[in-house]
Structure 1
Amino acid sequence: MITGRPFRAKPEWYWQNIDGGLLTYSRPGLMEKPDGSTEPAVIIFRDKFVLSVLTIEDAIRLADQLIDSTESPATNG
């Protein structure tokens, strides 16, 4: 559930936000643990740069929040 006031992006960032969205994507990956083992992960990229490495649980949580945000009154008028 989304609560509180929505974040308002400044108009001077509009085109950078649009371009950035077009360059943002995810791919499956592996996260190395301190003991040398690995676990599945989701990697979030902007162009060729890594923005975040997420555990599967955090990727699912973020995906749910993205869906909730698209269904929010703030995004649907």
Structure 2
Amino acid sequence: MRAPSSGETDTRVRLASRVLVTWVELVAVGFAGAVFGEVASGPPQLIGYLLTVLALVGVFMYNVDRLIVERVSDAG
């Protein structure tokens, strides 16, 4: 078994960093949606839920895109 090169180590550190950033962003959006859900009731609560889900998907897709862009630029 060989030791990872500095490039592989750097890539793993960036991946771990991006995963941590994604997790923090998802938790923050989730808590904001939960707070709005507690304050609102009826149709606004449903709209808040749908907007929270949309924001969570947006955060996730943005971070996946950042990972792909970094991976492609490293390969090129």
Q: Return the structure number with greater relative CO, CA threshold 8 A, min gap 6.
A: 2
User: Which of the two has greater helix per residue?
Assistant: 2
Q: Please state which band the TM-score falls in when normalised by the shorter chain.
A: 0.3 to 0.5
User: Which of the two has greater strand per residue?
Assistant: 1
Q: Which has the larger radius of gyration?
A: 2
Question: TM-score scaled to structure 2, two decimals?
Answer: 0.35
